[in-house]
Amino acid sequence: MILLGLLLVFGLAGLALVAFMDNDGLFSTSVGAVEMFGYQADLSVGEVFLIGAGAGALVLVGLFMLFGGAGRRARRRMASRRELQAQRAENLDLKRKHDSIATELAAQRAAEAGAADAEREIEAERAARDAKLAREAKLDREAEIEAEERLSTR
């Protein structure tokens, strides 16, 4: 749209310039023969004025098209930037949530590992106590056996 507007503006400006340069008698009733793009026309001052007014109107239409296209493009850019900022903010928020969840998970795993370690320590203490009790029981049985042997030998 912008390119079409520029082409229209430049084309009409060139057309108006050619019509002005070919007009020898500005204030006479007959302008004379005007040649544009291989065509020759015998124009009066009024006709040249109307052609100029039409060219000016078309220049204005071209400018409206030019600025309208530029404005639309600027609005699209602004909307795109806002969307990009929103996506970046959302990504940052998601990253923060991910980091907090990862931290919580690491803490939970550490607590579970700590609980597992504590449970292993308790199991190890039980096993050590059971082993100690088993040794003491074995020593007590051996002591009883020795005591019975001493009594039986007498």
Position 154 scores a pLDDT of: 59
Query: What are phi and psi for residue 41, nearest 5 degrees?
Result: -135, 145
Position 28 scores a pLDDT of: 59
| Beta carbons of 62 and 12 less than 8 angstroms apart | yes
| CA dist., res. 53 & res. 32, Å (int) | 19
Position 125 scores a pLDDT of: 82
Can you give the residue ranges of every domain in the chain? 2-153
The beta strand positions in the chain, using DSSP E, are 30-36, 39-44
CA distances from 89 to 81, 84, 92, 98, 105 (A): 12, 9, 5, 14, 24
| CA dist., res. 154 & res. 151, Å (int) | 5
| CA dist., res. 149 & res. 154, Å (int) | 9
Position 43 scores a pLDDT of: 76
| Beta carbons of 6 and 61 less than 8 angstroms apart | no
> What contacts 38, CB < 8 A, 6 or more positions away?
none
Predicted TM-score (pTM) of this structure: 0.38
Spell out, as residue ranges, where the chain has pLDDT lower than 50. 27
Query: What are phi and psi for residue 16, nearest 5 degrees?
Result: -65, -40
Question: What is the identity of the amino acid at 65?
Answer: M
CA distances from 72 to 81, 89, 108 (A): 14, 26, 53
